[in-house]
Amino acid sequence: MKKFLFITFLALSQFVIAQSKGTLKGLLTDKETNNDPLPFANVLIKGTTIGATTDFDGKYSINVPEGTHILQFSFLGYKTIEKTFTIKAGETITINQVMSAEEGVSLDEIVVKSSSSKEKETALLLEQKKSVVIKESIGAQRLSKIGVSNAANATTKISGVTRSEGTGNIYIRGLGDRYLSTTMNGLPIPSDNVDNKNINLNLFSTNVIKNVGISKTYSTESYADQGSGNVDVNSKEFTKNQYSISISGGSNSNVLGVMDSFRRTIVSNDATLGFHQKKYALQNLITYQGWDTETQSTPVNYSGSFSIGKKFELFGKDVSIFATGAHSRSFQYQEGVFRAFRSNVLDKAFPDITRPININKGVDPNENDVENFITNTNTTGYVNVKIKLNDNNEIKYNTLFVNRSEDNLYEQGRKGFGYVFDQDPQEDGAFVRDQNFKQTTMFVNQIMGKHNWSENNTLNWAAGYNFVLAEEPNRIRNEVNILDITTAPTIQYAHVGDFQQRKTSQKIQDTEYNAFVKNTLDLGATNEDDNKPYALHYGANFRYKERTFKSLFVGVKAKDFTAPSIDDLSSTFTSTGFNNGLILRTSPADRFEADLTIMAGFVDFDFDLGNKLSGNLGLRFEKNEINAIWDVANYIDFANNGRPRLGTLKRNYESLYPSVNLKYEVAENQFLRLASSVTQTLPEFKELSPFEYVSPTGRVTRGNPDLERSEIYNFDLKWEMFPESGQLFSATGFYKEIINPINLAQTRGSSGYFYYANTGDKGTVLGFELEARTDVIKNEDDKGILNFTGNVTKMWLEQDLLKDFQYKNVTTSSLQGASDFIVNGALSYSNHKEKEFVATLTGNYSSDKIFALGSPEDFNNSAVLYNDEIIEKGFVTLDLVLSKQLSEKLKIKLVGRNIINPEIRQTQLVRSLVTNIETNETVLSYKKGSQFTLSVNYTF
């Protein structure tokens, strides 16, 4: 009984004491880092042991006895500040404080890092929370955990983002390559691919990525050429003195099945470590080099990388250097089917399971007759140098070198079941081989500076020089017929055209200069904490890029010639063969030159009204000028009823681009954001050029000189809640109206080509996004053991169709490349021990999307004679990453990508001319294979 009374007395005492206390809370910010939150600072009630340390968001909370007290704020190297306050029992008061550095304090032996690392997810969420514009980022820390290997895969971990497996393009909110812009550290970078406006983000491996950010709303200091958003790759900088090396090895599940018969192109014989050296002129390669493929020994994936971080003093200035390099090689094998229809009639099929001749040969309905052997080699070097001139001035320099090669051996019809309409000498038994070695070499050079002219005035500037060389030095294509596969097969060369047996070369060179300058004035200090509720930003952008393009064809007409087998074609293309009737065909080189000049000035105004409402108002004037000239064999000038090789174009666009971004604090850690802007999308050089490019499958894509820009009106409304550090819940509604939308479509006529066109007067995108990042289970230290991240995007997309794209009485369609339903999710476990174990499972689903719009073949009979749109079917991907810290310096990681190995498939509705019934036909399918990698990392 005495024990019970004693415990009751203690409980009542604690209750009374608790009732006699109040709550003190607040936020500490760092004046030295533009008022960023200051974590790990000390907050103490003077003369007591009552206190706290600020969390990662710079916040603190203390239970304080009622009365008058002196509050003390301190942080190593900063002025200690004291404030007197009075608090009543049960009262909650807020005291915020701006901390500044102590003058004359020597910290030669101590490094104080109060700014947050932009590689950590918590820091990026904090930046997202503070930002006025709607921006989402993913940092190197999380990329490492989920096993992402490059920037392209990183973007798919952000809500509303998908990546097309068929093309590798990135889509944000349903809008693809031409509606995006890509920058590195805020400066634009050119494309490495003649087909695209944006660079292939696969080129940016995670060893050079600090974080990848996507701004889905527009601010006027950025270029206006963006409809769905901007992807900004922020490169790594020095964080600490370190040396590390990493090696890895693995394989693709599809490759394991063909280990002893994996093949590569003969062109790859001229490449060392991904660097190709052309030994002969293209015409001489017809006889000096063979036409047959090679066998690859030990097709096993491998990679190695290193990184170095060092800080030192040079001429009295702090200099930091971060450098990294990597080399990797990987192999893929794909098998599947390919078919093409023109005006609802079968044009090509590999295999053709409907032809009686193939049925008699016993062709399996599930037969695959398309093979693709791919070898990727990537070499990367990156250096960042940062010089701190003094406390107010710093300069940074980045240089990035990338050499990426892809050896692609593609075959259709090896089993003898191929079909090509109107092929000569016959339609059945068609076989196509395409050998192509692509090499992209890229240099990115950037210099940037930051200068704090005064307490209220900061100048930022940057300039860049970029160079890209993308080559196909010796592409080899053969088209033959296997005349009789049941007995002794005879191989006869197809000869409908002069270039069905050919070697071609293609060279693209991009050179770019760009720069920006931005001055910021902080205005209107209104309180003792020296907070600036207003800021004025103004500046200018400049960008000039030019492209030179050259393509050369050398063909051989081999009518009535035969070969011993499809793996022995080289014996035909000899000097003896040319003496006996082989005919060499050459075509004048196709050339294309273009340049883009952008000059712009901008001004925007930040405001914080102090009543929970803040925002940004901006206005940009931008002038765009595009010039192009070409000399292309297949250019048709319809306006003049002629077929000249030469053509020119000139485009001038001058416009004002306003933007409004508003943020309202609904409650603590809850915000409502509203954004509206006007942007544009400019046609890319390749989209304007009439040059025709043949893909390995045989699909032909050409540009359209009549293409015009699109204007885009953007509206976003977003709610965000940050319940705790590192956690987020959000919901976003958005609407876009696109004037003159640009799409990839099929042409009318018998060519079966694809081309770019303004397919309608207007398109609309209406959608919403839901996102969550939270801890499912925490340990006793309040650290998340099991963490969940997920997002869902649903869209309604529609565009009207011009007459050239109407058929079957269809007058509207979805937008090309847009999935209307997207889901991304990740579940991550960490034991948070000294030798940490981390397991992360990530998944993605994107629904069906249009690969290319359809078109009528004949306006008068468009209900029957048409080419329906080609659909890329939706699929699910799943990745698993397991990592274990074996010691302080040694870490191992097992990564499984695409572990459920879904089928990548394109379909097309085809109407039977006999029964008038539509059926959904597969026109392309393959599986990428699952990839497993084991890596070891050691840090010195």
Tokens for 581, please give them: 């009737």
Over the chain, what is the mean pLDDT?
A: 84
**Number of neighbours of residue 479 by Cβ within 10 angstroms:** 24
Of 89-103, 135-149, 502-516, 556-570, minimum mean pLDDT range: 135-149
Cβ 348 vs Cβ 370: under 8 Å: no
The size of the chain, in residues, is 940
CATH architecture for segment(s) 247-519+533-939:
Beta Barrel (2.40)
Of 182-191, 330-339, 456-465, 513-522, minimum mean pLDDT range: 182-191
pLDDT in tens, 336-355: 999 999 888 899 999 887 76
pLDDT in tens, 148-173: 555 656 666 666 676 655 455 677 77
Q: Is the dihedral of CA 627, 448, 398, 187 positive or negative?
A: negative
Predicted pLDDT at 646: 86
Cβ 685 vs Cβ 629: under 8 Å: no
Cβ 233 vs Cβ 204: under 8 Å: yes
* pLDDT surpasses 70 at 135: no
Q: How far apart are CA 126 and CA 124, in angstroms?
A: 5
Cβ 527 vs Cβ 572: under 8 Å: no
Q: How many Cα atoms are found within 13 Å in the side-chain-facing hemisphere of 81?
A: 19
> Looking at the DSSP assignment, which residues form a beta bridge with residue 809?
none
* pLDDT surpasses 80 at 917: yes
* pLDDT surpasses 70 at 11: no
DSSP result, 705-771? TT---EEEEEEEEEEEE--STT-EEEEEEEEEEEES-EEEEEPSSSS--EEEEE--SEEEEEEEEEE
Domain ranges in the chain are 2-99, 247-519+533-939
> Looking at the DSSP assignment, which residues form a beta bridge with residue 349?
339, 419
The mean pLDDT of 328-343, rounded to a whole number, is 93
User: What 3-state class would DSSP assign to 415?
Assistant: coil
Cβ 466 vs Cβ 189: under 8 Å: yes
> Looking at the DSSP assignment, which residues form a beta bridge with residue 419?
349, 428
Instruction: Write the single-letter amino acid at 632.
Output: V
Predicted pLDDT at 3: 47
What does residue 504 show for φ and ψ, rounded to 5 degrees? Answer: -130, 160
| Eight-class DSSP state of 807 | B
Q: How far apart are CA 251 and CA 897, in angstroms?
A: 11
Give the position of tokens 């045989």. Answer: 698
pLDDT in tens, 632-646: 887 665 555 555 678
Predicted pLDDT at 490: 84
CATH no., domain 2-99: 2.60.40.10
Of 150-154, 184-188, 194-198, 908-912, minimum mean pLDDT range: 150-154
The mean pLDDT of 562-577, rounded to a whole number, is 91
* pLDDT surpasses 60 at 43: yes
Q: In terms of Cα–Cα distance, which of 856, 854, 855 is closest to 870?
A: 854
pLDDT in tens, 80-121: 888 898 998 888 888 988 887 654 333 333 333 333 444 455
Q: How far apart are CA 735 and CA 767, in angstroms?
A: 7
Predicted pLDDT at 899: 93
Q: How far apart are CA 715 and CA 732, in angstroms?
A: 11
Q: How far apart are CA 570 and CA 592, in angstroms?
A: 33
Cβ 731 vs Cβ 768: under 8 Å: yes
Tokens for 710, please give them: 């699109």
